[in-house]
Amino acid sequence: MKTCNQSSQASLLRLDSQLCFSLYAASRLMTRAYQPLLEPLGLTYPQYVVLLVLWEDAPCSVSQVGQRVMLNSNTLTPLLKRLEQLGYVTRARNADDERVVEVALTTAGRKLRGKCAGIPQKLMEGVPADSLDELLQLKGSLDRLIGLMVASEAEPV
């Protein structure tokens, strides 16, 4: 029988060899990078992501937001309540189907979009010009990986 020898298994357990750790670390560093830009607006990164969705398409049910950002109501309900408290969104039951909560933007919420317009560029300021191509390719690879993971979640192992 073919057995993986211990050293090859061991090497795969090295932190530095793990794609997953790179993903985990990069995601946290990214959130930190957003912070100085979002803090003046009173926003966290997940809140900002939800607003990105709403700026594209509001009003919008909680589950529609959830599909877009891949979060469930157990995360979204408190997050949306905070956005409501901040005065950026409203939450109201749909009259036709009382199970559904429609999330809409307030005037302040729509105005916020303008204040955020410069954020993507500001984040890219520190990136050398010759890295931009690589970042685009990186996003492509990430999206394909996301596709794989979403698919394997849907199917039972």
* Measured distance CA(60)–CA(65) in Å, rounded: 7
Is 118 a binding residue for its own copies by CB under 8 A? The answer is: yes
Identified binder of its own copies from the candidate list 67, 70, 78, 85, rule CB under 8 A: 70
Is 154 a binding residue for its own copies by CB under 8 A? The answer is: no
Task: Please spell the DSSP secondary structure of 77-144, one letter per residue.
Answer: HHHHHHHHHTTSEEEEE-SS-TT-EEEEE-HHHHHHHHHHTTHHHHHHTTS-GGGHHHHHHHHHHHHH
Residue 131 binding: pick among its own copies, DNA, none (C-beta 5-8 Å cut-off by kind): its own copies
Residue 96 binding: pick among its own copies, DNA, none (C-beta 5-8 Å cut-off by kind): DNA
Residue 123 binding: pick among its own copies, DNA, none (C-beta 5-8 Å cut-off by kind): its own copies
Place of tokens 């793990």: 18
Binding-site ranges for DNA (CB under 7 A): 24, 28, 31-32, 35, 44-47, 61-64, 66, 70-80, 82, 91, 96-101
